[in-house]
Amino acid sequence: MKAKAKAPANIAFIKYWGKKDQKLRIPMNSSISMNLSAVFTITSVEFDRRLKMDKVYLNGKKALGKERERVVDHLDRVREMAGMKLFADMRSVNNFPKGSGIASSASGFAALTLAAVRAANLKLSTRQLSILARMGSGSACRSIPDGFVEWKTAKTSNASFARSLFPPDYWDICDLIVIVTRKKKKVSSTKGHAVAESSPFYKTRIRGMKEKVEAIKKALRNKDFNSLGQIIEEDAINMHAVMMTSSPPLYYWTGATMEIIQSVIRWREEGFQSYFTIDAGPNVHIICRGRDVDHLKHLLLKIHGVRDIIINRPAKGARLISSRK
């Protein structure tokens, strides 16, 4: 029983920060995202009678400690659903740096979910896969369905899943990931979520969330690029204000992050429309129209501290690559 799956990372337009239920990873607020074409994880899982324990390899290295534990916990969820006890050989490879604000846990747990479920011979709907992926890493549930995605908060686990709002070819917009460092971040998002409520601004953030989600869905429906971009930027800054004012405070930015933020704002003043967003790391995502990619890349490469640029178009969600009994 072996299966291999591929899943994209995603960029949140409206961010998920803070949970109602830490263990089940039910978010305080709904979020909206786009799956990314150029950053993904490929994962294979084989349940094998001969194994005496799970084997976990991440990017060719044997995983240890917390990293291993999180994968084994997820395999346990699948084993429980399938009513079986076999150990697994799990191998996962990212095509981008892990832990640097490109959602490696999102693509990682989405690919692991689909591969493990198929290897266990379970047949789950997109909704069920999304719920299961969410328990591994919240944002992973958004990497299951295609294209532009909404993940709803809910009172119960079974009602908190992601669904596709629009397919990938709905709108030709891009996300340029501007890499300023490839170092692993110091504080994981799991730890960050847990301290979000200690920020004096957190309640205010959550209060405004429903309206923001509706506003961005309207911008998507109308393909209104400037409204979309403004909401994306506002929400990213709002989330980072919460991060920086939580206890302990979380500063994910570096000087280069700020340099890029200010450049994007200046380019807009000069008439070129693009918008930034930032996850739990220093790298910056810039959302632009498909036709503007070359120009934006040219501008970005002039900024000191920019190491690399990854160009993403909207992408499909998790897909099975192969499976055999």
Q: Which spans of this chain sit near ligand PMV (rule: CB under 6 A)? A: 12, 15-17, 31, 103, 105-106, 137-139, 189-190, 193, 279-280
CB of 213 to ligand PMV, least distance (A): 12
Q: Give the tokens for residue 15.
A: 């961010």
Q: How far apart are CA 297 and CA 313, in angstroms?
A: 14
Q: Which is nearer to ligand PMV, 137 or 246 (CB)?
A: 137
Query: Is 208 exposed, middle or buried (CB count within 10 Å of its CB: 0-12, 13-18, 19+)?
Result: middle
Q: Which is nearer to ligand PMV, 33 or 263 (CB)?
A: 33
Which residue type occupies 63?
A: A
H or E segment to which residue 9 belongs: strand 2-14
**Distant-in-sequence, close-in-space partners of 310: CB < 8 Å, separation ≥ 6:** 38, 39, 96, 102, 176, 177, 179
CB of 161 to ligand PMV, least distance (A): 14
CB of 31 to ligand PMV, least distance (A): 5
Q: Which is nearer to ligand PMV, 31 or 41 (CB)?
A: 31
Q: How far apart are CA 78 and CA 96, in angstroms?
A: 26
CB of 102 to ligand PMV, least distance (A): 9
Q: Which is nearer to ligand PMV, 108 or 229 (CB)?
A: 108
Q: Which is nearer to ligand PMV, 129 or 299 (CB)?
A: 129
Q: How many Å is the maximal CA-CA distance in the chain? A: 64
CB of 228 to ligand PMV, least distance (A): 16
Measured between alpha carbons, how far apart are the two ends of the chain, in Å? 4
Contact 81, 133 (CB under 8 A): no
Q: Which is nearer to ligand PMV, 119 or 180 (CB)?
A: 180
CB of 189 to ligand PMV, least distance (A): 4
